[in-house]
Chains A and B, each alone.
Chain A
């Protein structure tokens, strides 16, 4: 079955630590996205990528970094510069301008 996987489902970060969230898709989509969702809030775009080896900042990119070395993979690193990283992180992919396909999400908690 085609789809998007995210791992891990739950992640805990200590102060000053960088952590990486995995996102993999086998839908052959060119575009991939990372969103952050806080309790009771909508989606906020962190980064997006239209094609391999290219990506652009979204609305809240500070404290995050990404890479797009392969079409099927778009990992997100939450750096120590992100002061309030506790949130639910969603990865998505699409064939623009059609619907987005979302992964199951990673819940990140700062200890």
Chain B
């Protein structure tokens, strides 16, 4: 079946540092890929998405590129802020399934 693997957290960075959160997936066919963000005590929000190979999703300074050859969708940001502290979930949705597959989430802590 489909699966998503994210790097273990927490990831702890200083403000203005470069961020990478790794995400790899296993899926049949050509899934759509997503990054969601969850701030403390809130629901998940879509951060960005990509629907086909080599697409780059971007939002709020975050980027991720759909790499079919390495089955990866790593999240990056050039300069993190304290307000980026949250849990980030990588997910995929295969065309034939109503059930998306989520990674376990990666906690990001940014210090001033």
Contact = CB atoms under 8 A, between A and B. Distances in A.
A104 interface: yes
A43 interface: yes
B104 A100 contact: no
A74 interface: no
Contact of B93 (A6, A96, A107): A96
Interface string A34-72: 000000111101001010000000100000000000000
B77 interface: no
28 contacts: A4-B43, A42-B103, A42-B104, A42-B105, A43-B102, A48-B99, A90-B43, A90-B44, A92-B43, A92-B44, A94-B100, A96-B93, A96-B98, A97-B31, A97-B93, A97-B94, A97-B97, A99-B34, A99-B46, A99-B93, A100-B44, A100-B46, A100-B100, A102-B43, A103-B43, A104-B42, A105-B41, A105-B42
Contacts of B32: 97-99
Interface of B: 31-32, 34, 36, 41-46, 49, 89, 93-95, 97-100, 102-105, 107
Contacts of B44: 43, 90, 92, 100, 102
A58 B98 CA distance: 11
A91 to B, nearest CB: 8
Given A41-B104, A42-B104, A97-B94, 10 more contacts: A4-B43, A42-B103, A94-B100, A97-B31, A97-B93, A97-B100, A100-B36, A104-B43, A105-B43, A107-B41
Contacts of A96: 93, 97-98
